[in-house]
Amino acid sequence: MCPSQFEDEWRAEFEMYGDSHAGKFIFSGPMPEEKRQFGFRWLAERERARKAREETNIWYARWTFYAAVAAVVIGILGVAVTLFH
C-alpha cells in the first residue's frame, strides 16, 4: 500500500484528536515520516480553512454593524420627522 492510501485513516485520526493535540503529536510524536508530512499538510489545510472562516465572520460582523447603524439613523430620522411634522 502506498502512503496516499492511508491518508483517509490519518485524516480521521487527526480530526479525532483535534487541531492542537494533533499538532503536538505531529511535531513531537513518534510516527512514520510519510504520516508526519501528511500531518503538516493537514495542519496547513486546517489553518487556511480557519482563516477563511474568520474572514467570513469579520465580513458578516462588519455588515451587521453597518445595518444596525443604518437602522438607528433611520429610527432617529423617523422620530425627528414625527416631532417636527
Instruction: Map residue 31 onto helix, strand or coil.
Output: coil
pTM of the complete model beyond 0.85: no
pLDDT reported for residue 80: 94
Range among 17-26, 32-41, 54-63 rated most confident: 54-63
Q: What is the mean pLDDT of residues 22-48?
A: 89
Spacing of C-alpha 20 from chain mean position: 14
Give percent of the chain with pLDDT exceeding 70: 96
pLDDT per residue over 10-21, tens digit each? 898 888 988 888
The number of CA neighbours under 13 Å toward the Cβ of 15 is: 8
Q: Which amino acid is at 82?
A: T
